[in-house]
């Protein structure tokens, strides 16, 4: 039976590629998509999700918009990475179908309640929607089959020296989510920086024909880091979170206790990871089988027949 996934995301270059993976893998049943403000505004992440849905051909999957700003503090976005509109230079046909009338938080709760123990919840943006869902119905911690995020790190940050972007964008939400009493699989930067799009990977993307040349490779190569002399290519962070759910055999993991720093002047949004705690609340993927990962992702993307 296919793995049921609900993806909460902020597309976003790598969120778009994660959606493409969830749709393309025949062993995944993408049951719902919810959007959150993050990389770009909620309006834009939702528009991107709607356009991707129609273009990639999963129009039967509901999409609901959620929170446009963090639980507290200013909105932090990442146009400098993902482009003004969130998908780099990619322009998709305008969507003709609209988002669901439900709020993302309601769709998350309803979807989990309708299939207790069956849905793998995956979050690849700031954790605002998930925290609001937990506030509304704390029992969802027992309803998920699993909960996986892309976010955090045990070494360094990318939004600041200490904090990874998804946690930095809403640290209060992240703190509530890690404290909720469920097991969080934290696919953090230390893992995702192993999934680098180098020239050989771009060549393989091009082998996928128009989808590879016109959508996948442009999404996977838009961001080039002007501050890093040793830049090898973009990391497909969010793709790793979906891949973990479907192919955990490609990852080695360690249990840990993760706390989110909320008050540090220079460290707000840092994930403090204790691998020696006797009260673990997280599983932390450490090492990726890189060739196995790319083979898996390449095959799944190759199954997608876009509506061109």
Residues that bind Ca ion in the complex, under the rule CB under 5 A = 10, 12, 15, 124-125, 238
Of 6, 71, 78, 108, the one binding ligand BDR by CB under 6 A: 78
**What does the CA dihedral 99, 105, 110, 112 come to, rounded to 10 degrees?**
110
Which residue is listed with tokens 């989990």? 112
With binding defined as CB under 6 A, does residue 150 bind ligand BDR? yes
Q: Is the peptide bond before 66 cis (omega within 30 degrees of 0)?
A: no
Which residue stretch of 29-37, 61-69, 159-167, 178-186 sits at the interface with ligand BDR (rule: CB under 6 A)? 159-167
> Binding of ligand BDR at residue 281 (CB under 6 A)?
no
261 binds, among Ca ion, ligand BDR, none (CB under 5 to 8 A by kind): none
Nearer to ligand BDR, 44 or 237 (CB): 237
Pick one of ligand BDR, Ca ion, none as the site partner of residue 88 (Cβ within 5 to 8 A by kind). none
Q: Buried b / exposed e across 192-208, counting CB within 10 Å, b at 16+?
A: bbbbebeeebbebbeeb
Of 80, 103, 237, 276, which is the active-site residue?
A: 237
Active site residue 23: no
**Diameter over CA atoms, the chain:** 53
CA distance 302 to 160: 35
User: According to the 3-state scheme, what is the secondary structure of 180-246?
Assistant: CCCCEEEECHHHHCCCECCHHHHHHHHCCCHHHHHHHHHHHHCCCCCCCCCCCCCECHHHHHHHHHH
CA distance 201 to 182: 36
Task: Name the segment binding ligand BDR (CB under 6 A); options: 47-55, 162-170, 270-278, 293-301.
Answer: 162-170
CB neighbours of residue 60 within 10 Å:
7
User: Of 187, 237, 268, 296, which lies in the binding site for ligand BDR, with binding defined by CB under 6 A?
Assistant: 237
Task: By CB under 6 A, tell whether 81 contacts ligand BDR.
Answer: yes
Q: Looking at beta carbons only, is 18 or 63 nearer to ligand BDR?
A: 18
From the list 11-19, 41-49, 84-92, 248-256, the region that binds ligand BDR by CB under 6 A is 11-19
- Give the whole-angstrom CA distance, residue 299 versus residue 193: 21
- In the list ligand BDR, Ca ion, none, the entry touching 158 (Cβ below 5 to 8 angstroms by class) is ligand BDR
Q: Which of 107, 101, 76 has its CA nearest to residue 8? A: 107
User: Binding to ligand BDR (CB under 6 A): which residues in 188-227?
Assistant: none
Task: Pick from 158, 185, 271, 281 the residue near ligand BDR by CB under 6 A.
Answer: 158
63 phi/psi in degrees, rounded to 5? -125, 125
What is the rounded distance in angstroms from the CA atom of residue 213 to the CA atom of residue 195?
A: 19
52 counts as binding ligand BDR under rule CB under 6 A = no
Residues of this chain, 116-135, that bind ligand BDR according to CB under 6 A: 124
**Is 166 one of the binding residues for ligand BDR (CB under 6 A)?**
yes
Out of ligand BDR, Ca ion, none, what residue 184 binds, judged by CB under 5 to 8 A for its kind, is none
Phi, psi for 40 (deg, rounded to 5): -135, -175
**Using the rule CB under 6 A, is 165 a contact of ligand BDR?**
yes
Q: Which is nearer to ligand BDR, 143 or 163 (CB)?
A: 163
Q: Which of 53, 5, 7, 34 is nearest to 238 (CA)?
A: 7
Query: Cβ closer to ligand BDR: 129 or 158?
Result: 158
Binding site for ligand BDR (CB under 6 A): 12, 14-15, 39, 78, 81, 124, 150, 158, 164-166, 237-238
Q: Which residue numbers are catalytic?
A: 237
């Amino acid at each position: 039976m296919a793995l049921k996934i609900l993806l909460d995301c902020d597309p976003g270059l790598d969120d778009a590629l994660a959606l493409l993976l969830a749709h393309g893998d025949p062993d995944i049943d993408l049951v719902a998509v919810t959007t959150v403000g993050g990389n770009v505004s909620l309006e834009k992440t939702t528009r991107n999700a709607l356009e991707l849905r129609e273009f990639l051909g999963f129009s039967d999957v509901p999409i609901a918009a959620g929170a446009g700003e963090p639980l507290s503090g200013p909105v932090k976005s990442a146009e400098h990475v993902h482009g003004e509109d969130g998908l780099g230079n990619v322009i998709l046909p305008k969507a003709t179908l609209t988002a669901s009338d439900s709020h993302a938080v309601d769709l998350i709760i309803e979807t989990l309640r309708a299939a207790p123990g069956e849905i793998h919840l995956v979050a690849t943006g700031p954790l605002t929607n998930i925290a609001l869902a937990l506030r509304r119905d704390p029992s969802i911690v027992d309803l998920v089959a699993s909960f996986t995020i892309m976010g955090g790190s045990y070494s360094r940050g990318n939004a600041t020296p200490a904090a990874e972007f998804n946690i930095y964008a809403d640290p209060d939400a992240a703190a509530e989510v890690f404290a909720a009493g469920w097991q969080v699989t934290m696919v953090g930067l230390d893992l995702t920086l192993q999934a680098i799009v180098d020239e050989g990977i771009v060549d393989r993307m091009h082998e996928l024909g128009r989808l590879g040349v016109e959508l996948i490779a442009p999404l996977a190569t838009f961001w080039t880091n002007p501050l890093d002399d040793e830049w090898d290519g973009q990391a497909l962070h969010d793709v790793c979170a979906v891949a973990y759910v479907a192919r955990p055999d490609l990852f080695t993991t360690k249990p840990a206790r993760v706390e989110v720093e909320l008050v540090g002047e220079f460290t707000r949004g840092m994930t403090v990871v204790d691998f020696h705690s006797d009260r673990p609340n997280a599983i932390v993927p450490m090492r990726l089988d890189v060739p196995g990962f790319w083979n898996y992702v390449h095959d799944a993307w190759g199954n997608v027949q876009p509506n061109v």
